[in-house]
A and B are shown apart, each in its own frame.
Chain A
Amino acid sequence: AQSVSQHNHHVILSEAASLELGCNYSYGGTVNLFWYVQYPGQHLQLLLKYFSGDPLVKGIKGFEAEFIKSKFSFNLRKPSVQWSDTAEYFCALGSDNFNKFYFGSGTKLNVKP
């Protein structure tokens, strides 16, 4: 069965610290992977996506993610976080036929100024 796991439910960092949020998936077909962000009181927004090609994907606001097929992972990274990165982050998997997306349970990031 398809699933997405985010093991870090709540992460607290100081400004300028490096960030890595874990995302593991279970899926037998071709994977299409996404990271979404939900800032307090705002819509979910797409941060970045991976379909094929270079496994290191760069997104908006300095975020990047690396697809590691052997580990079934798509971890999100940022070298230096800012207070404005405080938000909830969701990893998502798109099915082969794109009928459905499967979301992880989310990681709340709290960046201390």
Chain B
Amino acid sequence: DGGITQSPKYLFRKEGQNVTLSCEQNLNHDAMYWYRQDPGQGLRLIYYSQIVNDFQKGDIAEGYSVSREKKESFPLTVTSAQKNPTAFYLCASSILQADGYTFGSGTRLTVV
């Protein structure tokens, strides 16, 4: 079955450490996105990529980095510069944005 796989489902990180969240899709979608979901704030766009080797900052990119070396993969690194990293992170993809997104199941990151 085609879809988006995010791993791990739960992740714990010590303060000061970088951590990378995985997002893989086998839908042959061109565009991929990373969102952060916080209670009462909805989804906020971190980074997005429309094609391989190209990506753009979203609304809250500070403290995050991404890469898009392959069409199928769009990993997100939460760096130690991110002041409030504890959140639920959602990856999404689309072939034509007008059709809407397909979402992954998310990764819940907790900084301890």
Chain B contacts for A101, CB-based, 8 A = 33, 45, 97, 101
Given known contacts A9-B40, A43-B104, A44-B90, is B98 in contact with A32 (CB within 8 Å)? yes
Instruction: Considering the complex, give the chain B residue whose CB is closest to the CB of A44.
Output: B103
* A113 CB to nearest B CB, Å: 25
* A40 CB to nearest B CB, Å: 12
* B70 CB to nearest A CB, Å: 21
Check A100–B48 contact: CB distance below 8 A: yes
Instruction: Considering the complex, give the chain A residue whose CB is closest to the CB of B38.
Output: A105
Instruction: Considering the complex, give the chain B residue whose CB is closest to the CB of A94.
Output: B97
Check A90–B42 contact: CB distance below 8 A: yes
Complex CA–CA separation, A43 to B103 (angstroms): 6
Tell me if A51 counts as interface (CB < 8 A to partner B): yes
How many A residues touch B, CB cutoff 8 Å? 23
* A49 CB to nearest B CB, Å: 6
Interface centre among B41, B90, B99, B105 (most CB of A within 10 A): B99
Tell me if B56 counts as interface (CB < 8 A to partner A): yes
Complex CA–CA separation, A104 to B37 (angstroms): 11
Contacting A at CB under 8 A, from B44-91, are 44-45, 48, 50, 56, 58, 90
Tell me if A34 counts as interface (CB < 8 A to partner B): yes
Tell me if A103 counts as interface (CB < 8 A to partner B): yes
Check A90–B50 contact: CB distance below 8 A: no
Chain A contacts for B45, CB-based, 8 A = 100-101
Complex CA–CA separation, A99 to B30 (angstroms): 12
Chain B contacts for A106, CB-based, 8 A = 40, 42
Chain A residues close to B by CB (< 8 Å): 4, 6, 9, 32, 34, 36, 42-46, 49, 51, 90, 94, 98-101, 103-106
13 contacts between A and B (CB under 8 A): A36-B100, A44-B90, A46-B100, A46-B101, A51-B98, A90-B42, A94-B97, A98-B96, A98-B98, A99-B48, A104-B42, A105-B42, A106-B40
Give the top 5 A-B pairs by smallest Cβ distance, nearest first: A98-B97, A103-B43, A105-B42, A44-B103, A103-B42
